[in-house]
Structure 1
Amino acid sequence: MGTEAMFGLTGKDFVILAADGQAAYSIIRLKNDADKIWKVGNMLFGCSGPSADTANFMEFIEKNVKLNELRTGIPMSTKAAASFTRNELAHALRKGPFQADLLVAGVDNEGPSLYFMDYLASSVKVNKAAHGYGAMFTLGLMDRYWKPDLTEEEAIDIIKKCIKELETRFIVDLPGYKCKIVSKTGIKEVQL
């Protein structure tokens, strides 16, 4: 578990993800504006961990999801992309593991989906999830305010509450949060 904060939740017809912008090595902050939320096809992948592992792993996943779409002519569903990603993490675990924790978000025929995945290749579909030390502060708030028919405005308000809680209580100053929403109409970035 790193000194990061990445969290997300499902809404009525969308999924929202937020992540801090810190890229660090040991106790040194390298960047304040890292984007840890990747657009992969029609999905969002939040990926936290060491910068080299996350970038390498996410580029691999991104290219293979695109390759599958080119071969089949059909975009991968969120469940299929999460299963593929989990399988790749499990294979890597035996030879050269990636220290990558992920949140996989998408909206398809099955509705909004959010998958929680850790570096040990465990995966589960959830309504709300968080990674890093930030999870200790955000999961309680998301539990309290989440509901199945959440609107975008309500979800953004919950994300703002989570960020405010981190700024108030977390000993580490995490800079520049990025927030993105995926829905059937596409992907958009939200200014917080």
Structure 2
Amino acid sequence: MDDTDTGAASLGTTIVGIVAHGDTNREGEPTNNTAGVDAGNGDRGDHGDRGDAVVLASDRRASLGRMVSSKDARKVHPIGDAAALAFTGSVSGAQALVADLDAERRLYELRRGTEMSTTALAGYAATAMRKQRYGVQHLLGGVDGDGAHLYTFDGGGSVLEQPYAADGSGGQFAYGTLEDGYREGVGVADAETLAARAVAAASERDTASGNGLHLVTITDDGVEEVVYDDPAAVAA
């Protein structure tokens, strides 16, 4: 999606999501936990055997018309401690939807005294998009008592649960990599590698995608974020 006709920054971009299952890190990889985004150094935590997970990934480029307006755009946003949204489209619309969804999550948990499930988050997001034009499409991933979930949305608010998905201007290129590499029961480390490969492939062909990788892994332990200057650091 694009807001270039209004002069607004847009995320013509590549976003990817994969449902994964707990496994240990690849042999020889660093095992120190990261708290939040670790810009540039690319160390990821030891996933251990944590059960189901969702991996979300994106490139880091934002554009304004034909100009690259940012080389460090954040396109995946945590929602609480067990979910995150990856966006393509209007930057302002993405920020508004994140704020609305997080406010609803907080209100739900305050009233009910329990965490809002990923399914409930997806239902609210779909309803909100039907009521208001945010100018975005997005992927919602999360882990709750029923396991890991990945939902896809369109601009009209329709929602589907998927084992893997891609969207954005580079989504069609990313899908080729996902469909070639995805296997049912894929582990977390392999899902991270596959997501990075998909973003890297899209960045090679889509001029609106590029400038590195933002990788987010959601497990029942929380949301882990890492950024890389080059997707090859994970995709290799």
TM-score higher than 0.5 here? yes
Structure-1 residue corresponding to 2:102 = 62
Query: Which SS does the other structure have where 2:116 is aligned?
Result: coil
- The correspondence for 1:11, drawn from 20, 23, 35, is 20
Per the TM alignment, residue 119 of structure 1 is displaced from its structure 2 partner at its CA by 1.3
Please name the residue that 2:219 is paired with: 183
- Residue 119 of structure 1: which of 155, 165, 185 is its match? 155
Distance 1:89 1:163 in 2: 26
Q: Does structure 1 retain, via aligned residues, the 8 Å contact 2:61–2:210?
A: yes
Distance 1:22 1:167, change over 3 A: closer
SS in 1 for 2:155: coil
Structure 2 residue corresponding to 1:103, chosen from 139, 146, 160: 139
Structure 2-normalised TM-score?
Answer: 0.75
Q: For the residues of structure 2 that align with 1:124 and 1:157, how far apart are their CA atoms?
A: 24
Residue by residue over 1:146-176, the C-alpha shift from the partner in whole angstroms, topping out at 9 and shown as x without a partner, is 1221111211221222133124333445213
SS in 1 for 2:176: helix
Counterpart for residue 37 of structure 1: 76
Helix, strand or coil for the counterpart of 2:16? strand
Structure 1: tracts of 5 or more residues without a match:
none
Q: Which of 126, 143, 167 is matched with 1:131 structurally?
A: 167
Q: Give, in angstroms, the shift of residue 128 of structure 1.
A: 0.8
2:93 aligned counterpart, secondary structure: helix
The RMSD of aligned alpha carbons is 1.6
The residue aligned with 2:114 is: 74
Q: Which residue of 2 aligns with 1:89?
A: 129
Q: TM-score, normalised by structure 1?
A: 0.91
How many angstroms apart in 2 are the aligned matches of 1:102 and 1:168?
22
| Residues 46-55 or 156-165, more deviating | 156-165
Does the Cα contact within 8 Å between 2:63 and 2:208 map onto a contact in 1? Answer: no
The gaps in structure 2 that reach 5 residues or longer are 3-11, 22-51, 228-233
Q: CA 1:71/1:108 → structure 2, altered by over 3 Å: closer, same or farther?
A: same
Name the SS of the counterpart of 1:85 in structure 2.
helix
